[in-house]
Amino acid sequence: MPDFDFDLFLRDYWQKKPLLIRNPWAEWHNPLDPDELAGLACEAGIESRLIESRDGRMTLAHGPFAEDRFGELGKAPWTLLVQAVDHHVPDVAALIAPFRFVPDWRIDDVMVSYATDGGGVGAHFDQYDVFLVQGMGQRRWRVGPVYDDSSPLLPHEDLRLLAGFEATDEWVLEPGDILYVPPGFGHDGVAVGDDCMTYSIGFRAPSRSDLIAGWCDHLIDSLTQDDRFADPDLRTQDNPGEILPAALDQLHAMVMEGLSDRAAFARWFGEYSSMRKYPEADWRPEEPVETDDLVAAIEDGVSLARNPASRFSFIRQDTGAITLFVDGQSFDCTGESAALAEALCAEAMIDLDPALTESPDARRLIAALIDQGSIAFDDEEEED
């Protein structure tokens, strides 16, 4: 999106109001065939949903689906939704790059939907920002006011559909068009004609409750049972039923002292926020990388490619070192390994400097990331 003003967008629209962006691409190509999407929905370990509209009511089914399921759907409107398609299709993963003016730790995944004429998921609101990119066909989007958890919903076992949704804006999106919807804004997208595909680039926003629960669970795991309240200077008091202010101050300080360690929180959050969306998926190679093979690849300047399913981020320390976070693991980096870590966070693929063979820290970092399935040598170069 070469002519898109990112600073203006962040200032005037981000988490403030929706924005329709008419095809900003130099040349738009739909990156995924509908049959490929249906194939992904048939695979175990890939989250998919099928929503059908029959007699004015929507039904929801979860995948994986049998290969003949889609041929049985008939003419009633339906929508197929597949999560994290960017983890499996490089051309879909490439859609994230134009939106990296938002920090990577906020990016969730790319969900892809396919709908027949009249298909949709109903009027709803999300708790996160989303860019809706029209891949092929047309979709009519209606956007309404801001809703929250107190807003009335239609009775439904599986879907959170807004009751009494009233749109304030309406647009028909063509291939390459983008609709940005901030958190809380009600919206409803309906396919206009068959073969409608939409790519939803979603962003994460951790809730206060999730942060508190995760941070506290982490702290609890690190505490010992002998770290207890103590009152060696206890004195008698007028009423034994009273909890005195001095005791409350001490108890409160015990809790807050553990919670307020910012450095520990930073490391925990880096690991927490870099966890893969589907941590149960095993992307590790069958065998750990051999040292000789690693050194030979570095000497040849082979490129390293990031796993699209992996999450990379880092925190810069006051000392100039950085802590790299990848897939829930943390790595303390200095010198050459720090520069390598920053490069890995900046680009989906980097060319290795042969001089890194002289850096044991850099070699160890590369090996650790390969062995946990977060990076790999570029297959095309290895075949060449």
Block residue for tokens 């889609």? 70
- Measured CA to CA, the distance from residue 308 to residue 225 in angstroms comes to 41
Nearest to 337 by CA among 265, 76, 320: 320
Block residue for tokens 């559909």? 161
Mean pLDDT of the chain: 94
Adjacent-strand bridge partners of 312: 326
**DSSP character at residue 99:** G
In this predicted structure, the answer to whether residue 380 has a pLDDT above a threshold of 60 is no
Average pLDDT rounded to a whole number, residues 342-355: 94
- Same fold? 6-203, 291-383: no
224 and 203 in contact (C-beta within 8 Å)?
A: no
Say what the pLDDT of residue 54 is.
Answer: 84
Say what the pLDDT of residue 260 is.
Answer: 92
Has domain 291-383 been given CATH number 3.40.366.30?
A: yes
Which CATH number applies to 6-203? Answer: 2.60.120.650
Say what the pLDDT of residue 281 is.
Answer: 92
Say what the pLDDT of residue 3 is.
Answer: 81
In this predicted structure, the answer to whether residue 71 has a pLDDT above a threshold of 70 is yes
Say what the pLDDT of residue 26 is.
Answer: 85
* pLDDT classification of 144: cutoffs 50, 70, 90: very high
In this predicted structure, the answer to whether residue 32 has a pLDDT above a threshold of 70 is yes
Say what the pLDDT of residue 75 is.
Answer: 86
> Which one is predicted more confidently, 167 or 318?
167
> Which one is predicted more confidently, 5 or 320?
5
298 and 291 in contact (C-beta within 8 Å)?
A: no
pTM, entire model:
0.92
Say what the pLDDT of residue 382 is.
Answer: 47
Task: Give residue 277's Cα distance to chain centre.
Answer: 6
Percent of all residues in the chain with a pLDDT value above 90, rounded to a whole number:
92
Domain ranges of the chain: 6-203, 206-225+257-263, 291-383
Q: What is the pLDDT of residues 220-261, one digit of tens each?
A: 998 989 999 999 999 999 999 999 999 999 999 999 998 999
Say what the pLDDT of residue 379 is.
Answer: 63
Calculate the alpha carbon distances from 134 to 23, 112, 273 in Å. 9, 10, 29
